[in-house]
Structure 1
Amino acid sequence: MFTKKGISRMASNSKVLGYQPGQSFIHQLSGVSKLIFFILVSVSVMSTYDTRLILAVSLGSLLLFQFSGIKWRQVRFVLIFIGIFLVLNLVTIYLFSPEYGVGIYGSRTVIAQGWGRFTVTAEQLFYLFNVFIKYLSTVPLAILFLTTTHPSQFASSLNQIGVSYKIAYAVSLALRYVPDLQEEYGMIKKSQEARGLELSQKATFVQRIKGNLQIVLPLIFSSLSRIETISTAMELRRFGQHQKRTWYSYQPLKRSDYLTIALGVTILCLTFLLFFTNGGRFFNPF
């Protein structure tokens, strides 16, 4: 028989995307240094198509994820969702413009002759590969930042770089609430299954959709009620009265933080240097 305490324990052991405490060197970095590094690297990767740089950043991202101690199974749901979106993006690019890479790189190397305009060229495959490793570069860094940075420290870092503390605090509340929402969903799901509602792989796809809707809709209304309670409590405490505020989780920058920021600046400068070397955003091996 399921008790409330037992259900809560099972829900807390589920795959929840949120802050994961740890002792890695990434956890020890200040939130502001990780945020600045993530922004600089993301700008670099998104603004260039130099395969050498993007591939190096993607390998570095995977190594950082490995060193952080975060398990892949802990973020499996997010990775599956992003993976599906990535496949749809690549397929859409090919369907709407199957020779887009040919126009970019100025050559046409046919690998397989398809039907009509749908041919397989080395240039198009190379372009799609670049799009793929762009995701491989930024997604692990984004997940790593969210799972190794406490929400309060994230809010403090946003305020340190000039974001209004009201916006920073709203972001902090959202990050805190996502794991709670996932945990509450898991608890309700276990309760429903204990009462005989089949939501596992044994049920049909339609049955699982209906069963999850029975959970999601009440969860949305309870979330709205909780938001109203939090906003009322903040108003009663006169939140937002002053122009500035202090942060309990404020963490001064250390040598490792300055090195992290310097690495991000170096990657960004290298991106601009490659613009001049390649004569544009694209690295052309053809």
Structure 2
Amino acid sequence: MSKAGMLYIERDTLFHRLDGAVKLIMLLAWTVIVFLFQDIRVFIVLFIIGLVLLMSAQLPWKRIRLLVWVIIVFNIFNSIFTILVSPAYGSEVNGTTTVLIDLGYEVLTLETVFYILTLSMKYMSLMPISILFVYTTHPTRFAGSLNRLGVPYKIAYAFNIAFRYIPDLKKDFISISHAMQARGVGLARGEGTLIQRMKHFAAIAIPLVQSSLARIDTVANAMDLRGFGKNAKRTWYSSSPWGRADIGIVIVCVIVLAVSITVRVQGFGTFWYPFNS
């Protein structure tokens, strides 16, 4: 689990200098605000703000594109699943019905399409801040920050290991898939039907789990040999006090969250449908 294997991308920007716990507070506040509302206008504003913040972090596209595509693909499958299962759900939410397509067992309504668009924007508005948190947070400094906030250091260190282990898991997946392809197992496009390729990808799970368990055992033994968990407290090599920017971000998060809750309690932020008469 070397530095090269971490998700963290070294840059000299405001987000890279922020304390890991501050970025976690920001992520949690952002998530709460997103799930408070069901208004696409709010999600569009949050998405634009998130993109501006993401661009300010100067993260290379080739490093973050995988996570971006995962979120987009999840949105597409979630939208298709919602249409197939509840094609008229938007009408139930809004109270009006504008039929677009008769699917036989149910009708697909314009209200449902707009509801799905709203739901997709909700998830997309979480994407920029999630990428910022994942790729600008150093695992060790983040663990130290959590411990300073009162989180037991064993739990904090578990976050540290998880952040470092994700890239190794990705490397194992690629290595196993290449080994299977060398043995004639079709995984790429055009090498069998979609169902066959899905079965082949599922077969990767067994060696991947086995290699993961072996790595977990190695890490656990190494930690035991170093006496991890013997003392009630521990120090952190990279721990640092909060600066003005950290305190300012936390204050802004608290204020914005309080305003959002107040506005939501007053009735703003329910499902917004622009075609209501």
- The TM tier, using the shorter chain, reads 0.7 to 0.9
Residue 122 of structure 2 is aligned to residue 134 of structure 1 = yes
Cα separation, partners in 2 of 1:280 and 1:56, compared to 1, 3 Å: closer
Are the equivalent residues in 2 in contact too, given 1:199–1:212 (CA < 8 A)?
no
1:6 paired residue number = none
The residue type paired with residue 23 of structure 1 is D
Residue 259 of structure 2 is aligned to residue 263 of structure 1 = no
Cα separation, partners in 2 of 1:65 and 1:242, compared to 1, 3 Å: same
TM-score, structure 1 normalization: 0.80
Cα separation, partners in 2 of 1:50 and 1:210, compared to 1, 3 Å: closer
1:144 paired residue number = 132
Q: How does 1:151-162 map to 2 (within 5 A)?
A: 151-162=139-150
Are the equivalent residues in 1 in contact too, given 2:39–2:269 (CA < 8 A)?
no
1:163 paired residue number = 151
Between the aligned partners of 2:192 and 2:147, the Cα distance in structure 1 is 45
Q: How does 1:184-223 map to 2 (within 5 A)?
A: 184-186=172-174, 201=188, 204-205=191-192, 217-223=206-212
Between the aligned partners of 2:79 and 2:43, the Cα distance in structure 1 is 17
Between the aligned partners of 1:51 and 1:201, the Cα distance in structure 2 is 37
Residue 21 of structure 2 is aligned to residue 32 of structure 1 = yes
Are the equivalent residues in 2 in contact too, given 1:153–1:250 (CA < 8 A)?
yes
Between the aligned partners of 2:184 and 2:103, the Cα distance in structure 1 is 48
Q: How does 1:15-164 map to 2 (within 5 A)?
A: 18-108=7-97, 110=98, 112-116=100-104, 117-121=106-110, 123-164=111-152
TM-score, structure 2 normalization: 0.82
Unpaired runs of 5+ residues, structure 1, are: 1-11
| 1:23-78 superposed Cα distances (whole Å, 9 cap, x missing partner) | 22211111111110000110110121133322211111111221211133323333
Are the equivalent residues in 2 in contact too, given 1:17–1:179 (CA < 8 A)?
yes
The residue type paired with residue 248 of structure 2 is L
Deviation at 1:186, TM superposition (A): 4.2
Between the aligned partners of 1:160 and 1:96, the Cα distance in structure 2 is 46
Cα separation, partners in 2 of 1:235 and 1:229, compared to 1, 3 Å: same
Are the equivalent residues in 1 in contact too, given 2:90–2:112 (CA < 8 A)?
yes
- The aligned length equals 269
Which residue of 173, 192, 199 maps to 2:161? Answer: 173
Cα separation, partners in 2 of 1:111 and 1:265, compared to 1, 3 Å: farther
Residue 231 of structure 2 is aligned to residue 242 of structure 1 = yes
What SS class does the counterpart of residue 78 from structure 1 fall into?
A: helix
Question: Root-mean-square deviation (CA), in Å?
Answer: 3.0
Are the equivalent residues in 2 in contact too, given 1:27–1:68 (CA < 8 A)?
yes
Q: How does 1:274-285 map to 2 (within 5 A)?
A: 274-278=263-267, 281-283=270-272, 285=274
Cα separation, partners in 2 of 1:197 and 1:94, compared to 1, 3 Å: closer
Deviation at 1:102, TM superposition (A): 2.2
| 1:222-279 superposed Cα distances (whole Å, 9 cap, x missing partner) | 3322221221221222211222222222132111112222232233223213223436
Unpaired runs of 5+ residues, structure 2, are: none
Between the aligned partners of 1:84 and 1:70, the Cα distance in structure 2 is 21
Cα separation, partners in 2 of 1:65 and 1:111, compared to 1, 3 Å: farther
The residue type paired with residue 121 of structure 2 is I
Deviation at 1:283, TM superposition (A): 4.1
Between the aligned partners of 1:62 and 1:165, the Cα distance in structure 2 is 33
